[in-house]
């Protein structure tokens, strides 16, 4: 990666609680969209990385947040690139039908945070950010599309003494 | 400048034609092109285009329209595009946007997507009234234009506005404007789902044309196509 040391990328995690098992016919329309939508993501402008399970094409076989909870995790060059993919591509058709397939989350189910370019976030790190968002609300360490923070704000928060505790698990600068 | 002043700029019929022309192209438009398309002299078009830019209705930039560069390529020409800023006037003052955002926020939190889609579908059907489902794409263009979607035909082998590698695709209607833009940006799945259901009701779901979700940057999330194609 040729990015400068200060360059930051945006990481994203969302968790979805399945209403039925993945092999249930009622979930089949979702399963059918997985490959084409993931292919869209891989080719989308600003796409950097997404989580894939062992030997799989997606992360649906990983269940780090619960047996019936699937996770979706990726890294993007900018918030705009992630937003355009999430809501201005074939992916919108998936989220439009979310109530047919997934339980409604009372707590936050999507979290965004900045990572140094080149850093591949771990699932543990991602779940910590989600827990942070749920516990403390949006902050430069863990935020959402509607309450977002810039990479500079995140850097200031992460490496200042007072905020260091709230950004636990933040990767060190490259 | 107040919104009402910006809108008052469009009182002038020449200005209004120029604004409508630039808005309809969905790309940068040069002075010569705008003048020719609206049938006014170039200097008059330039004057009005700059007035519209001053009012914040258009944005201007400069670009070499010849596509060449270096000596002999000519001076960059001034080009214009429609801005995304919304202008609204309500007399007496009413604030439906805040109401819409609050209702959408509550609907989102309560997970009311299905109920909202049903209401939108019913509204679409009510707007269609006793009319039969939309008969073809030409009729859809008229219906959608009347509701502010700024539709245009894309594809169909004319090569004009087609995109992607697959040339000669069946024509589809795309829309440059989302009438629910501000709320759709804040609650995309909820409001785009509502919009699709509204258009399904408006155009009919079992007629010769159908609406389908096909979101892409810059424009409405829905595309309207012939029901017979892509039926896989």
Domain containing residue A155: CATH number: 3.30.70.100
Asked if residue A155 belongs to a domain, the reply is yes
Asked if residue A43 belongs to a domain, the reply is yes
Percent of chain B with pLDDT over 90: 76
> Is pLDDT at A113 greater than 80 in this prediction?
yes
Q: Is B153 helix (H, G, I), strand (E, B) or coil?
A: strand
pTM check: above 0.80: yes
Q: How many domains does chain A have?
A: 1
Asked if residue A159 belongs to a domain, the reply is yes
Round to whole Å and give the CA distance between B183 and B97: 8
Highest mean pLDDT among B74-78, B162-166, B193-197: B193-197
What sign does the dihedral A27-A31-A37-A38 (CA atoms) show? positive
Share the mean pLDDT of chain A.
Answer: 87
Asked if residue A173 belongs to a domain, the reply is no
- Residue B70 pLDDT class (50, 70, 90 cuts): low
B113–chain A nearest CA distance, Å: 7
Go through B136-169 and write b for each residue having 16 or more CB atoms within 10 A of its CB, e for each that does not.
ebebbbebbeebebbbbbbbeeeeeebeeeeeeb
* Residue corresponding to tokens 């409001």: B191
CB A117 within 8 A of CB A8: yes
ipTM of the predicted structure?
0.84
CB A12 within 8 A of CB A129: no
Asked if residue A64 belongs to a domain, the reply is yes
Residue among B164, B169, B174 nearest B223 (CA): B174
Q: Decide if A89 and B215 are in contact by the 8 Å CB cutoff.
A: yes
Asked if residue A1 belongs to a domain, the reply is no
Its domain, for residue A54, covers 8-167
Q: Decide if A98 and B186 are in contact by the 8 Å CB cutoff.
A: no
Instruction: For chain A, give percent helix, strand, coil, nearest 5.
Output: 35, 20, 45
Which residues of B have a CB under 8 Å from any CB of A? 111, 113-114, 186, 188-189, 192-193, 196, 213-218, 221
Asked if residue A163 belongs to a domain, the reply is yes
Asked if residue A19 belongs to a domain, the reply is yes
């Amino acid at each position: 990666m040729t990015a400068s040391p200060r360059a930051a990328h945006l990481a994203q995690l969302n968790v979805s609680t399945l209403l039925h098992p993945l092999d249930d016919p009622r979930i089949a329309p979702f399963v059918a969209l997985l490959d084409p939508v993931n292919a869209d993501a891989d080719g989308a402008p600003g796409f950097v990385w997404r989580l894939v399970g062992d030997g799989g094409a997606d992360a649906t076989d990983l269940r780090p947040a619960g047996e019936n909870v699937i996770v979706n995790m990726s890294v993007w060059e900018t918030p705009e690139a992630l937003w355009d993919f999430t809501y201005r591509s074939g992916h919108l058709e998936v989220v439009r039908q979310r109530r047919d397939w997934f339980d409604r989350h009372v707590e936050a189910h999507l979290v965004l945070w900045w990572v140094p370019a080149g850093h591949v976030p771990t699932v543990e790190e991602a779940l910590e950010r989600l827990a942070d968002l749920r516990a403390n609300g949006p902050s430069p360490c863990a935020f959402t599309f509607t309450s977002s923070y810039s990479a500079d704000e995140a850097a200031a928060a992460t490496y200042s003494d007072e905020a260091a505790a709230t950004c636990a698990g933040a990767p060190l600068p490259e | 400048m107040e919104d009402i002043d910006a809108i008052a700029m469009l009182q002038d019929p020449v200005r209004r034609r120029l604004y409508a022309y630039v808005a309809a192209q969905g790309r940068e438009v040069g002075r010569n092109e705008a003048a020719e398309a609206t049938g006014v002299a170039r200097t008059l078009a330039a004057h009005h285009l700059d007035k519209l830019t001053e009012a914040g209705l258009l944005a201007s930039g400069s670009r070499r329209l010849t596509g060449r560069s270096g000596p002999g390529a000519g001076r960059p020409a001034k080009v214009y595009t429609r801005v995304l800023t919304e202008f609204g006037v309500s007399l007496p003052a009413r604030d439906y946007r805040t109401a819409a955002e609050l209702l959408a926020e509550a609907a989102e939190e309560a997970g009311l997507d299905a109920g909202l889609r049903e209401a939108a579908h019913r509204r679409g059907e009510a707007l269609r009234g006793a009319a039969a489902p939309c008969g073809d794409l030409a009729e859809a263009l008229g219906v959608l234009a009347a509701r502010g979607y700024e539709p245009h035909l894309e594809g169909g082998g004319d090569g004009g506005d087609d995109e992607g590698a697959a040339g000669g695709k069946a024509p589809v209607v795309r829309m440059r404007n989302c009438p629910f833009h501000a709320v759709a940006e804040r609650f995309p799945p909820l409001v785009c789902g509502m919009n699709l259901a509204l258009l399904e009701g408006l155009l009919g779901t079992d007629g010769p044309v159908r609406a389908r979700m096909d979101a892409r940057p810059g424009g409405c999330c829905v595309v309207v196509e012939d029901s017979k194609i892509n039926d896989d």
